[in-house]
């Protein structure tokens, strides 16, 4: 099975210079806890999660008008739409990430795969990836 058979293609992006308040509103409006941070050409440059807003933002005493760049994670985990889904799962397990961004050959964001997408596809196979990703929480 290929990545493009599993990925979500309706992905809300945010810019580095957008505010934390804007990120929180978008997450609330779209009922998500993750936003890719993209440049003007829709190339991912990082990600921001609801946890980033709460933990990093509050720890740094940031407010709703501060930029997303102050709390975003610049670490990118990407794959291509034509990659085998097992390759994406292996990357997620190796890097202990709950989501992977899918980019086209030019680097433009075209989708996202989350752990929940993998579980919906094949619950038994996704257990290994889930264990690897969740092990980061146990070590923290």
What does pTM read for this prediction?
0.82
Residue-level pLDDT at 117: 83
- In tens, the pLDDT along 54-101 reads 999 988 999 999 999 999 999 889 999 999 998 998 898 888 888 999
Write down all domains in the chain, each with its CATH number in brackets.
3-139 (3.10.580.10)
Please report, for residues 10, 38, 45, 62, 75, the alpha-carbon distance to residue 42 in angstroms, rounded to integers and kept in the order given.
13, 5, 9, 26, 16
Burial class (CB in 10 A: 0-12, 13-18, 19+), 17: exposed
């Amino acid at each position: 099975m290929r990545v493009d058979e599993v990925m979500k293609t309706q992905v809300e992006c945010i810019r580095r210079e957008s505010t934390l308040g804007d990120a929180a509103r978008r997450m609330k409006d779209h009922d998500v806890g993750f936003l890719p941070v993209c440049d003007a050409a829709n190339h991912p440059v990082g990600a921001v999660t609801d946890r980033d807003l709460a933990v990093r933002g509050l720890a740094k005493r940031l407010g709703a008008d501060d930029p997303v760049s102050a709390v975003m994670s610049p670490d990118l985990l990407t794959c291509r739409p034509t990659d085998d889904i097992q390759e994406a799962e292996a990357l997620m397990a190796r890097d202990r990430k709950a989501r992977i961004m899918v980019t086209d050959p030019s680097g433009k964001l075209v989708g996202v795969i989350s752990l929940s997408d993998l579980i919906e596809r094949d619950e038994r196979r996704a257990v290994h990836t889930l264990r690897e990703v969740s092990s980061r929480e146990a070590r923290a």
